[in-house]
């Protein structure tokens, strides 16, 4: 049984911070390292990038800081990392975990003004996260005093050595107190790592987080692709990829429960049938979600790793990592949920630019090739959807059940060329099958939502599929109540018709999600309807009503 953070000895104030961030249970490296670091022991840990090792050393070291002290003139904790990107990432983690403790953290790295770093150091900080070269520069200028250090962390030590920082690391450690606590984390334990450990660590506890091996012949048949995307564009990129892939059922992994809820709500607004699954749900809620998913009532299941344990649904066609998984083992476990029963599955990973090397690490340690692809353009999506339309038309022709429709073609043939008639029919079929693709080919994926689309029954699967987009000149309003509040289309139509004096024919598509509803209306009437609904009650309560923000993104 996996221990809790409380069982590992983490203080309540830090556990509150973890809960707020949506952390559910410790990763293996955290479970192994935290108790020893809390006890003041030196530690030599072999763990790959992305295994949760930042929290493994940040939490116990923050907990050992003296409580209530003003910012010290000398830092108490020094973390050495190989790159500026990792320095920022680790500093952000210390800030998030230690905010309630009042712990002050600063990243210092090359490319940033010395004067700015000096001002922050002089004001006093508890934690310095630095690249070796810049830390040594500050030491030589006497703007960084390490004589008061209680702990030093060498994070990704093998990479720092690969980058030629061996001499800098030795010089920095020589300027620290002999009685300091030291933690060394490395993805490999090459002889040069052991050499540093023998010189700099005192009777260290050795921790090895081994990757789990997959049995021969047990690996699923999965097409694996990654897209490198800035964080701000991830949701838009995901929408573009979903349009291209058209999964029957996709399992989307997020890091925290808050990210799960946020992404699920966003995707619901894009017209998908989405369910969330995380540790904050009751067993009854979880069972309802799984029942609906197995019954084919879900397009996208958004989940955390912990909540997704035990999920075994053969219908999953796609596994999507909204973030790079924490370890190669986690990656292998995730993608093993698709490609079942001899069918080919698809695994898609979204990586931020600074996480690109984590993909390489997963490739090396899992023995699986991940193709880093260019994000699909609008034209790519259109081409794919046209191919689907072509296949559907071909299937209809082969079924030879067309006699009832010939009269339409014959009547039009007297006015138009047969090629024009066929082309128009293909256009109608395509719009019904896939809808118009939003966005510009030159742009990153746009964030405009997919409109709610009426369902039809697929001849091949019997599953509900989608079929149309919103009409031109229409916009949507957001009402902050949905199925959970027992909202019905009739409630919305009645409120809009009665309060805003609209006719039913002026009201377009209505989408009711779990916690909100979207109503399509003529653009010129949006402000009038919003004002009218804000002044009244719907289902006996004042509701949040506004123009749908996703429409304009």
Please name the helix (run of DSSP H) or strand (run of DSSP E) that holds residue 478, with its range, or none: strand 474-479
Q: What residues make up the domain containing 538?
A: 474-552
Provide CB contacts within 8 A for 142, sequence distance 6+. Answer: none
* Residue 391 in tokens: 């296949």
Q: Does any domain span residue 214?
A: no
Higher pLDDT, 293 or 269: 293
Over residues 166-182, mean pLDDT: 93
From residue 58, give the alpha-carbon distance in Å to each of 95, 151, 153, 183, 224. Answer: 10, 11, 9, 11, 33
Closest by CA to 301, choosing from 245, 221, 247, is: 247
Q: Is the CB of residue 11 less than 8 Å from the CB of residue 63?
A: yes
Are residues 387 and 479 both part of a single domain? Answer: no
Over residues 513-534, the pLDDT tens digits come to 878 889 989 988 998 899 889 8
Q: Is residue 217 part of a domain?
A: no
Domain match, 269 and 156 both:
no
Q: How far apart are CA 191 and CA 476, in angstroms?
A: 63
Strand partners, 228: 351
Last residue of a domain, one of 372, 388, 412: 372
According to DSSP, the residues that pair with 477 across neighbouring strands are 519, 547
Claim to verify: residue 101 and residue 166 sit in the same structural domain? yes
Write out the H or E segment, with its range, that includes residue 516.
Answer: none
Domain-terminating residue out of 311, 342, 372? 372
Query: Is residue 452, in this structure, part of any structural domain at all?
Result: no
Residues 6+ apart with CB under 8 A from 544: 478, 479, 480
Tokens of 312: 């075994």
Domain CATH for 532: 3.30.70.330
pLDDT in tens, 62-93: 999 877 566 678 999 999 998 777 888 899 88
| Residue with token string 């039009």 | 412
On whether the CB atoms of residues 223 and 434 are closer than 8 A, the answer is no
The burial of 522, by beta-carbon neighbours within 10 Å (0-12 exposed, 13-18 middle, 19 or more buried), is given as middle
The whole-number pLDDT of residue 38 equals 96
Last residue in a domain, options 345, 372, 399:
372
| Residue 200 reports pLDDT greater than 80 | yes
Q: What are the CA-CA distances from residue 500 to residues 216, 496, 546 (Å)?
A: 66, 5, 14
Residue 415's pLDDT band (cuts 50, 70, 90): confident
Portion of the chain with pLDDT greater than 70, in percent: 85
| Spatial separation of the C-alpha atoms in residues 207 and 390, rounded to whole Å | 57
The whole-angstrom separation of Cα 210 and Cα 46 is 8
For residues 549 and 177, the model is more confident at 177
Same-domain check for residues 96 and 183:
yes
Angle (CA) 169-170-171 rounded to 5° is 90
The total number of structural domains in the chain stands at 4
Question: How far is residue 430's CA from residue 436's CA, in Å, rounded to a whole number?
Answer: 9
Residue 299 forms part of a structural domain: yes
For residues 246 and 197, state if they share a domain.
no
Would residue 121 count as lying in a domain?
yes
Scan for tokens 């996260």, then name that residue.
Answer: 129
- What is the token pair recorded at 324? 């790079």
Q: What is the pLDDT of residue 143?
A: 94
The SS3 assignment for 398 reads helix
DSSP-derived secondary structure letter, 210: P
Residue 334 has pLDDT above 90, yes or no: no
Same domain, yes or no: 23 and 116: yes
Per residue in 416-446, pLDDT tens?
Answer: 888 888 888 887 776 665 544 444 343 543 3
pLDDT digits (tens, 9 = 90+) for 101-141: 989 999 998 878 888 899 999 999 999 999 999 999 999 99
Is residue 449's pLDDT more than 70?
Answer: no
Q: Is 6 helix (H, G, I), strand (E, B) or coil?
A: coil
Q: In this predicted structure, which of 146-155, 241-250, 402-411 has the lowest mean pLDDT?
A: 402-411
Give the residues across from 67 on adjacent strands.
Answer: none
Report which of residues 435 and 544 the model is more confident about: 544
pLDDT of residue 142 exceeding 90, the answer is yes
Q: What is the pLDDT of residue 440?
A: 38
pLDDT, position 151: 96
Q: Are residues 406 and 501 in the same domain?
A: no
Q: What's 458's DSSP letter?
A: -
Question: Cα 493 vs. chain centroid, distance in angstroms?
Answer: 36
Q: Would 537 be classed as within a structural domain?
A: yes
Residues 360 and 405 in one domain: no
- pLDDT of 309 over the 80 cut: no
| 213, two tokens | 């091996």
More confident residue, 320 or 464: 320
CA gap 520, 523 in Å, rounded = 9
Q: Among 181, 151, 164, 145, which residue's Cα sits nearest to residue 82?
A: 164
Q: Is residue 524 part of a domain?
A: yes
Assess whether 244 and 310 both reside in one domain. yes
Using CB atoms within 10 Å of the CB of residue 342, give its burial: 0 to 12 exposed, 13 to 18 middle, 19+ buried.
exposed
Residue 439: how many CB atoms within 10 A of its CB?
18
Same domain assignment for residues 157 and 129: yes
Query: What is d(CA 335, CA 362) in angstroms, rounded to the nearest whole number?
Result: 13
Q: What DSSP character marks residue 438?
A: P
* CATH code, domain with 63: 3.40.50.300
Q: Are residues 23 and 150 in the same domain?
A: yes
pLDDT at 457: 31
Name, in order, each residue with C-beta under 8 angstroms of 11's C-beta and a sequence gap of 6 or more: 63
| pLDDT at 332 > cutoff 70 | yes
Domain match, 249 and 351 both = yes
SS3 for 312-329, per residue?
Answer: CCCCCCEEEECCCCCCHH
CB atoms within 10 A of CB 393: 16
In angstroms, the CA 525 to CA 503 distance is 12
Q: In what order do the strands lie in the sheet with 510-512?
A: 510-512, 517-522, 474-479, 545-547
């Amino acid at each position: 049984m996996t221990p809790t953070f409380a069982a590992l000895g983490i203080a309540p104030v830090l556990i509150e911070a973890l809960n707020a961030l949506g952390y559910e249970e410790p990763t293996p490296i955290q479970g192994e390292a935290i108790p020893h670091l809390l006890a003041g022991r030196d530690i030599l840990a072999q763990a790959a990038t992305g295994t949760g090792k930042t929290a493994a050393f940040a939490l116990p070291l923050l907990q050992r800081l003296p409580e209530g002290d003003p910012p010290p003139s000398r830092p108490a904790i020094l973390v050495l990392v190989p790159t500026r990107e990792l320095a920022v990432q680790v500093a952000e983690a210390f800030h998030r975990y230690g905010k309630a403790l009042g712990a002050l953290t600063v990243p210092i790295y090359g490319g940033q003004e010395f004067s700015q770093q000096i001002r922050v150091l002089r004001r006093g900080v508890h934690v310095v996260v630095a690249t070796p070269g810049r830390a040594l520069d500050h030491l030589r200028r006497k703007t960084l005093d390490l004589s008061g250090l209680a702990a030093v962390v060498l994070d990704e030590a093998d990479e720092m050595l690969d980058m030629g920082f061996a001499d800098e690391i030795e010089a920095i450690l020589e300027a620290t107190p002999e009685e300091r606590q030291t933690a060394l984390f490395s993805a490999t334990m090459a002889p040069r790592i052991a050499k540093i450990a023998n010189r700099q660590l005192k009777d260290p506890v050795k921790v090895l987080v081994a990757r789990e091996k997959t049995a021969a012949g047990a690996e699923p048949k999965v097409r694996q692709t990654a897209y490198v995307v800035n964080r701000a564009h991830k949701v838009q990129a995901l929408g573009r990829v979903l349009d291209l892939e058209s999964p029957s059922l996709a399992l989307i992994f997020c890091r925290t429960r808050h990210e799960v809820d946020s992404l699920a709500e966003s995707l619901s607004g894009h017209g998908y049938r989405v369910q969330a699954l995380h540790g904050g749900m009751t067993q009854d809620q979880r069972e309802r979600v799984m029942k609906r998913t197995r019954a084919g009532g879900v397009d996208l299941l958004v989940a955390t790793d912990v909540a997704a344990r035990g999920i075994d649904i053969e219908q999953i066609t796609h596994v999507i990592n909204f973030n790079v998984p924490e370890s190669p083992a986690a990656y292998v476990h995730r993608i093993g949920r698709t490609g079942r029963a001899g069918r080919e599955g698809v695994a898609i990973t979204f990586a931020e630019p600074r996480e690109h090397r984590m993909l390489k690490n997963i490739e090396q340690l899992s023995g699986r090739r991940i193709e880093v692809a260019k994000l699909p353009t609008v034209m790519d999506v259109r081409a794919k959807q046209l191919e689907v339309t072509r296949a559907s038309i071909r299937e209809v022709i082969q079924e030879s059940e067309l006699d009832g429709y010939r009269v339409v073609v014959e009547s039009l043939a007297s006015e138009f060329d047969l090629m024009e008639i066929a082309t128009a029919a293909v256009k109608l079929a395509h719009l019904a099958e896939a809808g118009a693709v939003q966005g510009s080919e030159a742009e990153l994926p746009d964030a405009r939502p997919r409109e709610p689309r009426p369902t039809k029954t697929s001849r091949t699967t019997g599953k509900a599929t989608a079929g149309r987009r919103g009409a031109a000149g229409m916009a949507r309003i957001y009402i902050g109540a949905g199925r959970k509040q027992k909202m019905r289309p009739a409630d919305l139509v009645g409120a809009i018709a009665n309060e805003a004096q609209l006719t039913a024919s002026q009201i377009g598509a209505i989408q009711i999600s779990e916690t909100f509803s979207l109503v399509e209306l003529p653009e010129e009437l949006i402000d009038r309807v919003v004002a009218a609904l804000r002044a009244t009650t719907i289902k006996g309560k004042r509701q949040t009503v506004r123009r749908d923000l996703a429409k304009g993104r």
